[in-house]
C-alpha cells in the first residue's frame, strides 16, 4: 500500500474489490463468529486480509476476538501470527470455499 499524505494507507481499487467480494467472511472473522475455522480456512482468511490496508493488524484482531470468544485467550500468539504472515503468498481463495456461510463469501449469495 502506498501511504497518503495523512500517513494512512490508500485503499486501492483492488483492495476495495477484495473487500466487497469477501465482506461476509471478513465480518464474521472479525466478530469471532466464522464457523468451521480449520487451518485451511485460517489461511484463506489471512490471504484475503493480505490484500487489505492494515491486513496484518486485522488478522491479529480477529484471532484475538476468536480466542476470547472461545474462552482460550492463551491460544493466541502474536509472534506465531507474524511469523506465518510473512510466508503468505496472497493467493485469494475461491469464494465457493465460504459457501457454508449464510450469503456466501460476499453475503449476497
Residue given cell 464457523 in the structure block: 35
- Which of 78, 72, 42 lies closest to 57 in space, CA to CA? 78
Tens-place pLDDT, residues 20-55: 999 999 999 999 999 999 999 999 999 999 999 999
From CA 20, how far away is CA 26, in angstroms rounded? 10
Tens-place pLDDT, residues 42-51: 999 999 999 9
- Which of 41, 80, 44 lies closest to 60 in space, CA to CA? 80
Predicted local distance difference test score (pLDDT) of residue 10:
81
The mean of the pLDDT values for the chain is 92
pLDDT at 84 over 60: yes
pTM: 0.88
Bridge partners of 102, per DSSP, are none
Amino acid at each position: 500500500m502506498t501511504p497518503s499524505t495523512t500517513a494512512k494507507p490508500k485503499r486501492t481499487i483492488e483492495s476495495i474489490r477484495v473487500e466487497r467480494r469477501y465482506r461476509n467472511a471478513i465480518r464474521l472473522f472479525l466478530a469471532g463468529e466464522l464457523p468451521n475455522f480449520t487451518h485451511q480456512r485460517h489461511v484463506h482468511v489471512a490471504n484475503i486480509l493480505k490484500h487489505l490496508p492494515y491486513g496484518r493488524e486485522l488478522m491479529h484482531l480477529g484471532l484475538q476476538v476468536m480466542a476470547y470468544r472461545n474462552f482460550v485467550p492463551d491460544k493466541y500468539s502474536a509472534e506465531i501470527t507474524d511469523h506465518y504472515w510473512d510466508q503468505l503468498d496472497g493467493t485469494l481463495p475461491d469464494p465457493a470455499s465460504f459457501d457454508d456461510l449464510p450469503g456466501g463469501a460476499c453475503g449476497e449469495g
